[in-house]
Structures are given as structure tokens and as C-alpha cells.
């Protein structure tokens, strides 16, 4: 397993069955987003986060071409922390890229509890996750002044992580997403996957959101992403696994 950090380097039908000709290339990747202690049991726990661990493990066991995990890996004074700004948790402020000296491209930022601080237990993969099976781990949010919900790039799109290079190196065509949280880091990473040209799949029962209203799935489906389930992915990639 390798770890990468800040390196520069493609119809919603409700099924996992492909409609392209059999000769069309199909190279699937699994991306497990932010299954970390603080997002499951800690300071920013997503409701129901622990209930998807075994479902994700069942997908990790499948023959994906590459299996990649992402992690928030923040410094203790990260720009997304309410404590950094001396403001209430879940209040909002406007932040700017450190290179934006004229403050021309402000982005509204929700101020979170301190979470997933690098080298602390809160940033560790959650207990029970088969983390040894990952081919690579991509860290995000490592710069104190830069926020990154997507595992592809920061919120201003100025810096890329290694994720796109890892997928391109393996010739990936289809990307399957599971993890936390569906309305933040899963959502923005999946939107960027679509932008990079990958066929993008959301494994609904392998994702939990902060708001359990289904809005994030509806929004992403309208963008052209595909919704599927762990069972459908198992039937597609290992049809004998359920027998």
C-alpha cells in the first residue's frame, strides 16, 4: 500500500448492469471515502456511519482493478475548524486561497469541530475496516489554509492530489464510491470524477450522509451519476460470490 499527499500528477438506471456492447472496456475502481474514526464515532460522526463498514468490506473483497481510500489529514489549526477562527461550531465564514492576495474568490466555509488531525487517532481508519487491502491512500486537507472536500482537488481547483493519476495509470473507466459523508466529501469527489470523464457510480447502501434526506443522491443522479447497491456490484464483479 502506498500513501500519497498533495501530489500533482470517465441515465440513472438504478442497476449495476452495463448497457454498452460487450466489447466496451470496463475497468472498475473502488474509492472508499473518509472512513475514519472521527467521522464514525468521533467529533464529527456521521449518523449511521458504523453500519456501512461491513458493506464496504464486502466490496473491498471484490476484484476491482484498484482500491483507493481517502482521508482527511488536517493540521491542528486547519481553516475549516471553528476553533481556528474563534467562532461557533457550524457557523460560517468566507475563506480565500492563500495565493488570493486580493481576496477575489471567496468561498463560504462551514466551520466544523476539530476533526481528523494528522497523526492522531481521529484520523485513523475506523476499527473493523479492511484497510490493509487498499492499493493507495490519498490525503486531503493537509495545508492549514486550504479546504478540500474532493479527493481530486481543493475547493478552488488550484491543486490536484494524486488521485486522477492513480486512476489513469490503471486505465480505469468506472469509479464506484462508498464512504462518508454523502453530502460532502463523497459528493464532491464523485462530481470531480464525472468531470474527469469517468463513469461514476454511487453505492447507495455503502454511503451515509450528514443529512439523511436523499437530496444529495438526487442531485448527483441529475448530474449523470449512476445509483447502485452492494448486492448489484457483487453480482456484476463476482457473480458466484452470493451463491
The residues carrying an active-site annotation are 34, 140, 185
Alpha carbon distance 193, 199 (integer Å): 8
Distance of CA 70 to CAs 19, 78, 167, 220, 231, Å?
30, 18, 13, 20, 23
How many C-alpha atoms does 8 have within 13 Å on its Cβ side?
A: 3
Distance CA 49, CA 199 (A): 25
Q: In 154-173, which positions are buried (b, 16+ CB within 10 angstroms) versus exposed (e)?
A: bbbeeebbbbbebbeebebb
Task: Assign 16 to helix, strand or coil.
Answer: coil
The C-alpha atoms of residue 86 and residue 99 are separated, in whole angstroms, by: 23
Helix pair 215-222, 185-195: axis angle to 10 deg: 0
The residues, ordered by sequence, that sit 6+ positions from 75 with a Cβ below 8 Å of its Cβ are 117, 118, 142, 143, 144
> C-alpha cell of 243?
451463491
- Do strands 2-5 and 28-33 pair parallel, antiparallel, or not at all (unpaired)? unpaired
Round to whole Å and give the CA distance between 206 and 137: 19
Amino acid at each position: 500500500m502506498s500513501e500519497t499527499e498533495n501530489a500533482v500528477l470517465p441515465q440513472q438506471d438504478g442497476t449495476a448492469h452495463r448497457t454498452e456492447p460487450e466489447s466496451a472496456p470496463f475497468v472498475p475502481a473502488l474509492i472508499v471515502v473518509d472512513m475514519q474514526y472521527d467521522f464514525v464515532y468521533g467529533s464529527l460522526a456521521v449518523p449511521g456511519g458504523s453500519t456501512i463498514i461491513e458493506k464496504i468490506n464486502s466490496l473491498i473483497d471484490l476484484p476491482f482493478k484498484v482500491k483507493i481510500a481517502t482521508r482527511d489529514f488536517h493540521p491542528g489549526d486547519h481553516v475549516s475548524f471553528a476553533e481556528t477562527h474563534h467562532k461557533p461550531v457550524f457557523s460560517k465564514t468566507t475563506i480565500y486561497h492563500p495565493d488570493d492576495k486580493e481576496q477575489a474568490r471567496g468561498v463560504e466555509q462551514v466551520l466544523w469541530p476539530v476533526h481528523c488531525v494528522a497523526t492522531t487517532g481521529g484520523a485513523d481508519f475506523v476499527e473493523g475496516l479492511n484497510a490493509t487491502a487498499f492499493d493507495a491512500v490519498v490525503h486531503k486537507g493537509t495545508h492549514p489554509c486550504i479546504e478540500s472536500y474532493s479527493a481530486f482537488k481543493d475547493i478552488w481547483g488550484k491543486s490536484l492530489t494524486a488521485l486522477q493519476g492513480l486512476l489513469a495509470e490503471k486505465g480505469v473507466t468506472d469509479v464506484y464510491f462508498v464512504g462518508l459523508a454523502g453530502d460532502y466529501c463523497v459528493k464532491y469527489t464523485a462530481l470531480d470524477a464525472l468531470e474527469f470523464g469517468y463513469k461514476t457510480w454511487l453505492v447507495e447502501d455503502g454511503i451515509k450522509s450528514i443529512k439523511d434526506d436523499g437530496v444529495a443522491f438526487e442531485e448527483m443522479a441529475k448530474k449523470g451519476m449512476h445509483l447502485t447497491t452492494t448486492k448489484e456490484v457483487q453480482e456484476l464483479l463476482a457473480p458466484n460470490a452470493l451463491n
